[in-house]
Chains A and B, each alone.
Chain A
Amino acid sequence: MSKDKLFGLIDLDWRFEITKFKPIRALFKSRWFPLLLIIANLFIFVVILVAGLMGGYSAGNYNFGIMLVWILWWVMLMLVLVPVFSRFWCTMCPFPVFSDWFQRGKLFGVRLGKLEGLNLRWPKKFRNMWIMNIGFLVTTFFSGFFTVRPLATFILLGGIILLAFIIGLVFEKRNFCLYVCPVSGFQGLYSQFAASEIRRIDPEVCAKHPVKTCFTGNEDGYGCPWMLTPFNFEKNTYCGMCLECFKSCPHDNMAFNLRPPGVDLLIDTKKSPKGLDEAYKAFIMLGIAIMFYTAFQGPWGGFKDMVRATTAKGYFTYVAMHASFNLLILPGIFLFFSWLSKLFSKSQEVTLKRIFINFAYTLIPLGLGIWIGFSLGIIMPNGSYLLHIISDPFAWGWNIFGTANLPWTPVFTGLMGYLQGVTLIVFYLFSLNYGNRIAKQLFPDPDQARRAWMPILTFLTLITFIFLWLFLG
């Protein structure tokens, strides 16, 4: 067992295997799971799409599509799914179901041999997060519409499903999920902090199994649709938790583990190196959180008008500000602190680029904490709309569950700022803890590591203070 403990409390090597319980393993091995979850989710998304189309241009606060996607789904992703269950959303995501069906020719069974479609390989230079980074950033240019206009949400979700299908026709397996899906990118990034993982159990078992069925597939399950090698992958980033490896492993050597949050942040190996694409994803997510908070929950009405395109000039100014803040200003400020880090360390061996990239991973816990805080700011004032829209999903005067006439009721909004503040501080502490470890990984000399860490610690503290000010006003 490792002696390295998170906050001196939890051994970083601690794992609790949930799949050691037979009913859970049986569930994971069943071909009905996650298929039934996906179909149930597809049903909900069909209702969302119909509600989005019917809701058209109207204000979205009583629209099922807007409320379910931006109030419930987004908040569930940030509050529970990603921090606790890693990419479990991808397990049940209905977006790629049509391309899977087309490629496999089957929904339930396993097709052996070549899949349908052109099966092209994804271009090597795009096997990273850059498309998702830019795609997600561009999507947020329209956030002032998606979150308030049902038709915009319909176009966004319909577009994603269509794009997933088209990419599935042309490229092999789940390349859409791996390299294009805007939801996938930030889940991949923040799932490194998640408190769960899928990993092989015993490396010896895999070593003695010459046919890697988790990668090649067999009659019980497909070879990893995410094109990973489940027998030796090291971090959550690109594991879509489709559970095919549980089905295709004849030795039941795959496990779903609970673990200390954030252990993937320390992974920096030849197989899974820290990369500039992931570093930029961390900046983009942090930058978007700052922009979103100021636009949607801050008191600056003029900025809100710009985001909502009250005037074309204001809107394009916002787009230019938003893009340059995320792609240039925020990374630029961090580059300055990284340069200070190099300067203070007096190290000749560690490059500025490596310092910049590796320390950018300290933004993952803090960024996730900020998004959780932002999500609390969404669900606590607006959650009661959900009771209305489940009864009247299309605003046609239905009252399915008798809750259609419940008034809007904010919940514990007086405590909201404090909850946001506490959340932020907890995740800041995680950032500090992992940042300190990353510094020691980068600089084997403890004095160099300590000196190099100081500017990054200052940056993280500044960001935390800015958000504490925003949250607590």
Chain B
Amino acid sequence: MKKNETIAVGLMIAATILTVIGIFAIEKFRLAKFYTLNLTARAPENGNWYPQEFTLPYGQKVNLRIRNIETVTHGFAIPDLKVAVSEIKAGQVKSVQFTPDKKGTFPFMCTVWCSENHMQMRGKITVE
């Protein structure tokens, strides 16, 4: 009986604490391979891109994770770096990997007509 109790408590710990630790450990291990940046997509009237300006390292592989938290579709492009995600549907998260091979400051923007203020859904990316 005592052995069974120990097994039950072990399973309980595995289902709770170890699960939470495991989830974050896997993600940390996965992200260690890239320079990862999280970008939130929102129409300008709801806050616009967040962050709207950011810096990426030159020549290093980047994982850009774009989270559309809204109920409309957005798109994403950095034309100068030839990076694009054609469609990020409502609630979807899209990851794009690329290596910035130009230094400077470049605009990025939404590529799907998402609201009346779509044209202002823009930001700046600096590669250095």
Q: What residues of chain A have their CB less than 8 Å away from a CB belonging to chain B?
A: 31-32, 35-36, 39-40, 42-43, 46-47, 50, 56-63, 97, 101, 106-109, 148, 392, 394-398, 408
Contact = CB atoms under 8 A, between A and B. Distances in A.
Given A59-B90, A61-B90, A108-B4, A395 B19 contact: no
Interface in B1-51: 1, 4-5, 7-9, 11-12, 14-16, 19-20, 23, 27, 30
Contact of B65 (A46, A58, A397): A397
Nearest to B31: A396
Given A59-B91, A61-B90, A61-B91, A109 B1 contact: yes
A411 to B, nearest CB: 18
15 contacts: A43-B14, A46-B16, A61-B91, A61-B92, A106-B5, A107-B8, A107-B12, A108-B1, A108-B5, A108-B8, A109-B5, A394-B23, A396-B65, A396-B93, A408-B89
Given A46-B15, A46-B19, A58 B67 contact: yes
The 4 closest A-B pairs by CB, nearest first: A59-B91, A58-B69, A397-B95, A395-B93
Contacts, number: 81
B47 to A, nearest CB: 11
A394 B93 CA distance: 9
A396 B27 contact: yes
B93 A62 contact: yes
B23 A42 contact: no
B111 interface: no
Contacts of B5: 106-109
Contacts of B4: 31-32, 108-109
B14 to A, nearest CB: 8
Nearest to B9: A107
Contacts of B68: 58-59
Of the candidates A40, A42, A63, the one having the most CB atoms from chain B within 10 angstroms of its own CB is A42
B51 to A, nearest CB: 16
A42 B14 CA distance: 10
B117 interface: no
B120 interface: no
Contacts of B92: 61-62, 395
Given A108-B7, A395-B93, 7 more contacts: A36-B11, A50-B20, A61-B91, A109-B1, A109-B4, A396-B30, A397-B65
Contacts of A35: 8
Interface string B69-95: 111000000000000000001111111
Contacts of B8: 35, 39, 107-108
A42 B15 contact: yes
B70 A59 contact: yes
Contacts of B14: 43
A59 B65 contact: no
Contact of B15 (A40, A56, A62, A394): A40
Interface in B53-70: 63, 65, 67-70
Contacts of B12: 39, 42, 97, 101, 107
A73 B56 CA distance: 42
A234 B20 CA distance: 43
A97 B11 CA distance: 13
Given A56-B69, A107-B8, A109-B1, A397 B19 contact: no
A35 B8 CA distance: 8
Contact of B93 (A31, A108, A397): A397
Contacts of B16: 42-43, 46
Contacts of B15: 39-40, 42-43, 46
Contacts of A42: 12, 15-16
Given A31-B4, A107-B8, A47 B23 contact: yes
Contacts of B11: 36, 39
A32 B63 CA distance: 45
B9 to A, nearest CB: 6
Nearest to A385: B91
Nearest to A40: B15
A396 B92 CA distance: 10
A11 B71 CA distance: 52
Contacts of B94: 397
A101 B11 CA distance: 13
Contacts of A97: 12
A5 B23 CA distance: 54
Contacts of A61: 89-92
Contacts of A106: 5
Nearest to A405: B94
Contact of B91 (A62, A107, A394): A62
A396 B27 CA distance: 8
B37 to A, nearest CB: 13
A58 B19 contact: no
Of the candidates B12, B89, B95, the one having the most CB atoms from chain A within 10 angstroms of its own CB is B12
B38 to A, nearest CB: 10
A47 B70 CA distance: 23
Contacts of B7: 108
Contacts of A398: 30
Contacts of B67: 58, 395
A63 B30 CA distance: 20
